[in-house]
Amino acid sequence: MKAILLDNIEHDLPVVHTDKKILYWLSTVDHKAIGKLYMLAALLFFIIGGIEALLMRTQLAVANNHFLPPDAYNQIFTMHGVTMIFFVMMPALLGLTVYLVPLMIGANEMAFPRLNAFSFWMTFFGGLLLYFSFAAGGAPNAGWFNYAPLNQNNYSNSPGINYYAMGLLLGGIGSVTTAINIIVTILKLRVKGMTLKRLPLFVWMALVNGFLIIAAMPSLNAALSMLLLDRLMEAHFFNTDAGGSALLWQHLFWMFGHPEVYILILPAFGIYSEVFQVFSQKKIFGYVFVAASTVAIGLLSFGVWVHHMFAAGLGNTVDSFFAASSMLIGVPTGVKIFNWIGTMYGGKIRLTTSMMFAVAFLIEFTIGGLSGIGFSIVPIDWQLTDSYFVVAHLHYVFVGGSLFSVFAALFYWFPKITGRQLNERSGKWFFWLFVIGFNLTFFLQHFLGLMGMPRRVYTYQDIPYYTLLNLLSSAGAYLMAAAAIVLMYNIYKTMKGEVMENKDPWNAFTLEWYADSPPGEKNFVDIPVVSSRRPFYDLKNPHNRDYD
Amino acid sequence: MLFVWGNLLKVSPDIPLQSVLQSSSQQAEEINRVTNYFFIAAGFILLVVAVLTAYVLYKFRDNKKQIPKPLSSKWEIAMIGIPTLLVAIFLYLNIKTINLVEPDHKNETPDVIITAHQWWWEASYPSSNVITANEIHLPVKKKILLKLLAADVIHDWWIPQFGNKMDMVPNQENFLWINIKKPGEYYGVCSEFCGAQHTHMRLKVVAQSEEDYQNWLLQHQQPAMNAASFGGAQLFISKTCGNCHRINGTAARGTVGPDLTHLGSRQTLLAGLLENNIQNLENWIKDPQQIKPGAYMPDFHLDDSTVKSIAVYLNSLK
Amino acid sequence: MMKLTIGSEAIFFLCLIVAYLYFWKSGNFQKEVAEHLSIKTTGVFTAILLFSSFSFWRAEKNHARENSKATKLWLIITILLGAIFLSGQGHEYYKLIQENVLISKTEFGSSFYTLTGFHGLHVLIGLIILLVVLTLTMQGYLLNKNSSVLKTVGLYWHFVDVVWIFVFTTIYILPYIL
């Protein structure tokens, strides 16, 4: 396929000409606007998902509580999981990706701008459709991974699960088309001189991530299609009362589900790589290793899915094989922690809010990663899977890993996207409130798991220490909510302020910082020569250039 | 939809502290061995990461005197080598423990067959022809093989102090070895989300010496005694309770709900939800959805005296 | 872009085929296929679909030579062949429904209709795209031999064919080999 050359840029960009703001936002194909739309949608669903979390933690604050009836709780925990993964983290990370990637590679647009807009709206409508279920008879209530045969008509007769399937199918289409768009953009639209070995690490991660999305989503789409056929046309894929298979659902779902968690963490790794470099004023330690290990993770991630099914009785041989592969994948994932520490070593560290989240990530992700490796040890998994130990693990990696990267990205790139810097003092309040709340909530849950508390329960009996630990855990949730309010206020106040003069407040290295803050409709009129991994740094330091 | 304070008379049974680290079976002991090694290794790694992070943060704070000096890439070898070595060691322990805890059951006859239902446990002891529900008695110091089945959706058997859990998957037979160290009462939970009352699908295992266990089996082999002396017995049949519940020795033959032949001998009702006494039985029969909303037992709209008679009768079934 | 899309769809079909094979034994597919499916009839329609790949290739070749008349002719042939394939599939479905093989009846029904149905859907989408290409060509667009449209559409159409080869082998041929 031929590359799309934007040499004569004046009339090649698909630009919308209107002064009606709503019309602009609905019809824009500008990758920057679409990136912002993604992030705003993620914010909306984050608030909803967060409220769902607060409702759950309130119900669980004391033993035998009656704040929420069981059916409501079951819908809420399901929706919390689905929302956070598919309609908060995916859009937030993909939104950042479509915003930043063209800027980082010196392009003025994504390869397929209209497809980009289409992807966003599909994702957004998927989320709306999912939430419509509340008004249509009940939200899905069988958990975010929706096991069979509980997901069949005869065990879950509200239409919620149909909306789950349809909402995720739409969202899935949005993700796959975005991934295709990103890959083609990175492969075909790089400015001259930017070889693949000189890509910013965020772009490397985006590239590998694109392939992961394309290869993993089909498995989910197949499972969801079969589920809809089961529920709407009485097919027999997962209906065990009629010869269907409960395990087939699990295999198909986790074939998607495991790569999905890497899909959520790779962009985070990319963000942290950028943040660590700029706020240590040093290049990344071990660029080749970080890039290569990412490719390794991408490939290996398709060979570990059964570790979600160790307790399903597949047999010792199968379990042992996947134990080995799961332990193996921990190595390239975890070693990057040392690469980032190595980046800070010998640097000039500025502890801005963004950097603080990156540093916190190092600890939180190590905890989450180690508990994950614990689960790859099958007998430990046999004890602790489906308990609160898993809930602790997944939140340490999702929140401490992925969500913290969104916060780090927010504080780092806010000046680029809006031309204004978020208030650092407020940022630090946000950081401490959130991090303390987060660790309070989830660290204690490791103990609850060790003490036999299963997950997905709407209450618990008065067992020694359960109430104490749960109450403290709930208190942490309220701290996080308070932190979120501090952040919203910071954003609000900042947006009311003036656009600043300095387009490069952090003294950064990569091409996106060469464009204006915020960039004009056309990202680049002219562009620095790219002869290393840090082209903007080279421009500013001609006597001390990189030679990568 | 949201009601704040329920009006249930929930007298919950006392449950002592549960912990995965209190190993009461041989399986749990093996698992705890590798768990402890793991926590030590993991703690060590976390410490290393934390110390290194703190060190670089302190030493390389932004001050003008520093000239950034790069790290030798030889560190990469150590960074990759040590974790790989640890992985190799734990992989060995991993596979070894798998086979110690869950050796192949070949074609041995199971001692107990547990069938999980929404939201109760059925237990059958094939060699003794005993069928009971929810409170499961097992002998100690003996290697027992459980066969695990599911009647409807996926459930999971987990007694933390006994070690590993195992799913019950419809249309599949799963097996679990248990070798309990000493007598006592052990508590567990269903550990795979199975619908509305997953929360209240609790397990209770009473582990007994061989003698006590045999006595319990003998007692449970007997049909229900003295049915005739209770008015509730007739009502139990006439009100169609027997269509779902079996009481051995009477016309009640249903297998949809738990076997009630020796209900009076159990300490709790409703899979560990309530203490077993006449008042709780009455409350349950009178309005099941109030106590365990979503349970499949319908409200028969029985009048108070009928309810009381049946409750008294059931309570007498020791 | 098309290669990436095809890659994704290929994995989707792989999952459907895996699901089909998963129920092979428990759903007694060997017997079901022998009883209800005709390898000969469907074989003919398979040949027709494969020929449509050949005819599209002819269209591409003529387009490279800027022979617009031949291009349009071969495009029309491709569309006709694709439509005949779909009608054959529809007829087969009709027959099966008469024999009470339904998506809701058995494992075989569920898996068979899903696998062939999604393939048929992709053929239909392909036909629509081909019609659009034909119309644009007739209106005078896309005639520049440097345009990559035909090549891209060709990738999709050939992909649909290749998927059918796998599906046909799995459903119709496998029972005779095993």
Q: How close does chain C come to A166, measured CA to CA in Å?
A: 16
Residue A237 confidence class, pLDDT cut points 50, 70, 90 = very high
pLDDT of residue A33: 95
The string of pLDDT tens digits covering residues B184-203 is 999 999 999 999 999 999 99
pLDDT at A190 > cutoff 80: yes
**Nearest chain C CA: its distance from A214 CA (Å):** 5
Q: What confidence score (pLDDT) does residue B45 get?
A: 93
pLDDT value for A520: 87
The parent domain of residue A298 ranges over 9-544
CB contact (8 A) between residue B87 and residue A330: yes
pLDDT the model gives residue B12: 61
Q: How far apart are CA A474 and CA A460, in angstroms?
A: 14
Q: Enumerate the residues of chain A whose CB falls inside 8 A of the CB of residue B63.
A: 348
B255 is a domain residue: yes
Q: What is residue A12's predicted lDDT score, i.e. its pLDDT?
A: 58
**For chain B, how many structural domains are there in total?**
3
B261 part of a folded domain: yes
| Domain-located, residue A60 | yes
Q: What one-character-per-residue DSSP string does A195-223 give?
A: -GGGS-HHHHHHHHHHHHHHHHHHHHHHH
Spatial distance between the Cα atoms of B15 and B13, rounded to a whole number of angstroms: 6
Which residues does chain C have within 8 Å of residue A111's beta carbon, measured at their own beta carbons?
Answer: 1
- One DSSP character per residue, B80-102 reads HHHHHHHHHHHHHHHHHHHHHHS
For residue B162, the chain A residue with the least C-alpha distance is: A383
Domain membership flag for residue B83? yes
Q: What is the pLDDT of residue B77?
A: 84
Task: List the single range of A57-66, B11-20, B22-31, C139-148 with lowest mean pLDDT.
Answer: B11-20
Check residue B228 and give its pLDDT.
Answer: 66
In angstroms, rounded to a whole number, what is the distance separating the alpha carbons of residues C60 and B250? Answer: 82
Split at pLDDT 50, 70, 90, the class of B9 is: very low
Question: Does the pLDDT at position A1 exceed 80?
Answer: no
Helices marked H in B22-138: 26-59, 74-101
In a domain, A306, yes or no: yes
**Residue B126 belongs to domain spanning:** 112-221
B236 and B257 in a common domain: yes
Give the strand pairing for B202-208 and B135-139.
parallel
* pLDDT range class, residue A203, cuts 50, 70, 90: very high
Tell me how close the Cα of A472 comes to any Cα of chain B, in angstroms. Answer: 18
The residue to which tokens 């959805």 are assigned: B289
Same domain, B48 and B95: yes
pLDDT given for residue A13 in this prediction: 65
Query: For residue B102, what are the CA distances in angstroms to A378, B30, B95, B105?
Result: 11, 11, 11, 8
Residue A294 and residue A205 in contact, taking contact as beta carbons nearer than 8 Å = yes
Domain membership flag for residue B20: no
Could you read off the pLDDT of B85-98 as tens digits, one per residue?
999 999 999 999 99
- CA dihedral of residues B135, B139, B140, B141 (deg, nearest 10): -150
**Chain A residues 100-139 with a CB less than 8 Å from chain B:** none
If you ran DSSP here, which 8-state letter would residue A359 be given? H
Per-residue pLDDT, B6: 34
> What is the overall mean pLDDT for chain B?
89
pLDDT tens readout for residues A11-42: 556 677 778 889 899 999 999 999 999 999 99
Q: How far apart are CA B191 and CA B155, in angstroms?
A: 7
| CA B144 to chain CA centroid, nearest Å | 16
pLDDT digits (tens, 9 = 90+) for B133-176: 999 999 999 999 999 999 999 999 999 999 999 999 999 999 99
Q: Which of residues 315-334 of A touch B (CB under 8 A)?
A: 316, 319-320, 323-324, 327-328, 330-331, 334
User: Looking at the partner chain, which of B42, B79, B165 has a beta carbon nearest the beta carbon of A374?
Assistant: B42
Q: In the Cβ-directed half-sphere of A95, how many Cα atoms lie within 13 Å?
A: 27
CATH superfamily of C2-177: Cytochrome c oxidase, subunit III, four-helix bundle (1.20.120.80)
In this prediction, residues B47-59 reach a mean pLDDT of 94
Instruction: Calculate the alpha carbon distances from A204 to A33, A293, A399, B67, B317 in Å.
Output: 23, 11, 22, 29, 70
Residues of A in contact with C106 (CB under 8 A): 236, 243
- How is chain C split into domains, by residue range? 2-177
Residue B227 has pLDDT above 70, yes or no: no
Label residue C89 by pLDDT band (50, 70, 90). very high
**Chain position carrying tokens 């990156």:** A358
CA distance B148 to A514: 64
Contact C1 A112 (CB under 8 A): yes
Domain containing residue A276: CATH number? 1.20.210.10
Q: Determine the Cα–Cα distance for residues B1 and B128; give it in Å rounded to an integer.
A: 48
Interface test with B, best of A279, A309, A328, A377 (most B CBs within 10 A): A377
Dist CA A363 CA B54 (whole Å)? 10
Q: Minimal Cα distance from A243: which residue of B?
A: B171
Taking the Cβ of residue C118 and every Cβ of chain A, the question of whether any pair is shorter than 8 Å is answered with yes
What is the per-residue pLDDT across A525-542, written as a single tens digit (0 to 9) for each?
888 889 999 999 999 988
What is the per-residue pLDDT across A343-374, written as a single tens digit (0 to 9) for each? 999 899 999 999 999 999 999 999 999 999 99
Distance in angstroms (rounded) separating the CA atoms of residues A366 and A440: 17
pLDDT of amino acid A4: 36
List the end-to-end C-alpha distance of chain C, in Å, as a whole number: 38
Q: Are A150 and B46 within 8 A, CB to CB?
A: no
In this prediction, what percent of chain A has a pLDDT beyond 70?
Answer: 97
DSSP characters for A82-126?
Answer: HIIIIIIIHHHHHHHHHHHHHHHTT-SS-S-HHHHHHHHHHHHHH
Lowest-pLDDT range, A11-25, A211-225, B217-231, C45-59? A11-25
CB contact under 8 A, A289 and B76: yes
A184: number of Cβ within 10 Å: 21
Quote the pLDDT of residue B7. 32
**Distance between CA atoms of residues C26 and B209, nearest Å:** 43
pLDDT at B69: 67
CA-CA-CA-CA torsion sign (B189, B193, B195, B196)? positive
Which segment of A2-6, A253-257, C71-75 scores lowest on mean pLDDT? A2-6
Task: Report A:458-517 residues touching B (Cβ under 8 A).
Answer: 458-465
Residues B189 and B250 in one domain: no
Query: Within a domain: residue B194?
Result: yes
- pLDDT of B65: 63
Better-scored residue on pLDDT, A334 or A423: A423
Say which of A111, A219, A233 has its CB closest to residue C103.
A233
In angstroms, the separation between the Cα of residue A338 and the nearest Cα of chain C is 34
pLDDT-derived band at B10 (thresholds 50, 70, 90) equals very low
In angstroms, the CA A63 to CA A55 distance is 15
Q: Which two tokens stand for residue C101?
A: 């093989």
The last residue of a domain, from among B184, B203, B221: B221
Is 90 exceeded by the pLDDT of residue C57?
yes
Residue A261 pLDDT exceeds 50: yes
What confidence tier does A7 reach under pLDDT thresholds 50, 70, 90? low
Cross-chain residue pair B68–A380, CB shorter than 8 Å: no
Classified as helix, coil or strand, A444 is helix
With respect to residue B272, please indicate whether it lies within any of the assigned structural domains: yes
Instruction: Render the burial of A442-452: b for 16+ CB within 10 Å, e for the rest.
Output: bbbbbbbbbbb
Contact A282 B15 (CB under 8 A): no
pLDDT tens per residue across span B243-295: 999 999 888 999 999 999 999 999 999 999 999 999 999 999 999 999 999 99
Examine residue A109 and state whether it is found in any structural domain, yes or no.
Answer: yes
A233-A235-A237 Cα angle (round to 5):
145
Domain tally for chain A? 1
- Whether A189 and chain C come into contact, CB under 8 Å, resolves to no
A3 falls within a domain:
no
Cβ contact B61–A451 (<8 Å)? no
CA distances A366 to A55, A101, A506, B134, B299, Å, are: 29, 28, 27, 41, 52
Does B223 score more than 50 pLDDT?
Answer: yes
| Residue A4, domain member (yes or no) | no
Q: For A142, which residue in chain B has the nearest alpha carbon? A: B195
Among B200, B221, B242, the domain-final residue is B221
Whether the per-residue pLDDT at B1 is higher than 50: the answer is no
Question: Residue B116 belongs to a domain with what CATH number?
Answer: 2.60.40.420
